[in-house]
Structure 1
Amino acid sequence: MSSFLKESFFQLSKREKLYAILAISLFFCFFMLFFQPFGVNNYDPKESITPGFALAIFSMGLYLGLLLVINEFLIFPLIFKGGILRWQILMWLIWSIIYIASALFLFYNILGEWHDFRLSSWLDFILNFGALAIIPLTAIFLYGRMRHVEQLTETAEDYHSDMNTIIHFPSDNQSNLHSYSLENILYLESEDNYVAIHFIHQGTFSKTLIRSTLKKIDDLNLHPELVRCHRSFIVNLGHLAKYDGNKQQGVIILQHGLTPIPVSKSYASNLVSRLR
């Protein structure tokens, strides 16, 4: 439960927030107008929809929209500067319900000439508004999850396309050029005056030696996925299964059950920042 609450939460864009605010305001207006819940019919004991009653409800809807705009576009950015975690969004929702329900309760009593301005009525209004908010909040949550899944799918597709990139390794012997698909490269290892390219070919592990040094290859910046982790190793992060360590040192575990690759202090900090 603790780890779940500490996970980052998907955020809507500004345009999506504006659409959500419009939808919530309209939902509130029509729900209050036709169902007249939470004692709203005290404003009109006959429970009929008169022009004055409809005008009062839609003015509350406009007021609700204004409250949401202030909450999401003025208050929210002041509190949350970067990413937001699940427990933080939970606290934000509790605050939003109390803040908006209280402001609406005050507005409702102004329209009704303070006919229901009591502590018990205020508490009931907050609880009832929170119950009503479950419907649009659930819709927004499901939409956010759908958008998040779409983004993950797009990222995975981009990653798959990126892994098909062809990497060319020049050697000191200018007549030789070794080319491999990025997805087949596992890691590079220094072997005296040579560099061993460990790769997958037709489902088996293979190795090719080229006359060069890791420093020369690293300086070429062939691809962001090929990262120096040790004076003797460059790894393909596309095959990373696990990293055990910190910003000082560690060990990289690649997929396919290969031998763990050490991460030295000189390269650990850069590697960790790349993994985040």
Structure 2
Amino acid sequence: MGLTLVSYIVPHWFKNWYSEANWTVGREIVWNVLVILLITFGNIFYSQWFFGRIFNLRGMLFWLGITASIGTIPATVITLVNYNRLLRKYATDSLLVKSAEASIETNPTPQNEIRLLAENEKDTLIVKTEELLFIESADNYSEVVFWKENKVQKVLLCSSLSRIEEQIKYPPIARCHRSYIINLRQVTAISGNAQGYKLQLQNWDCTLPVARRYTDLVKEYFKK
């Protein structure tokens, strides 16, 4: 009964928590602990109903100990299996990664620049598409990072990242994370793990994350 509740009913109520896009080892552990607790209470109810045993703290700890000792090993195995499955899924050994130079050569840019308008409808930033690296969310602002005059430059716009995203009509510049819009033509390398992809850009030292909900978008772009 407890297993049925966790496996079918609870996931139906909390779809975002149980979606693969939000999977983490921590959430898998929480899920397994919840299963063990529900099975424990199921065992207590069973012992009371059929054997007339009185519920008390000692009895609860007894059943919790038995359930945990039996369930810990399979729970650990399931967690490792899920982790390795996602690790293989997001591995990038077979993913075709194009350098920014190759991308520019094989995909001529039909749009030379993008125009970004701030919330006040007055402040405007015009950036060439080949210069833009990424745009990062900064609370109610968005920081536009681009390469110009042989150095990294940053401009802060008073605008949400979602509003900025609506203004961009150039597919290689895409939302890849809740905090980032990335110019995929600037990507030089991709690394992957069970948590998703990491993108390395030209002229930028740190890798940028790709949320799992956007991994298919990134894969399709680099497989074209």
TM-score (structure 1 length as normaliser):
0.41
Rg (Cα) greater in structure? 1
Between 1 and 2, higher relative CO (CA 8 Å, sep ≥ 6) is seen in 2
* Higher share in helix: 1
* Higher share in strand: 2
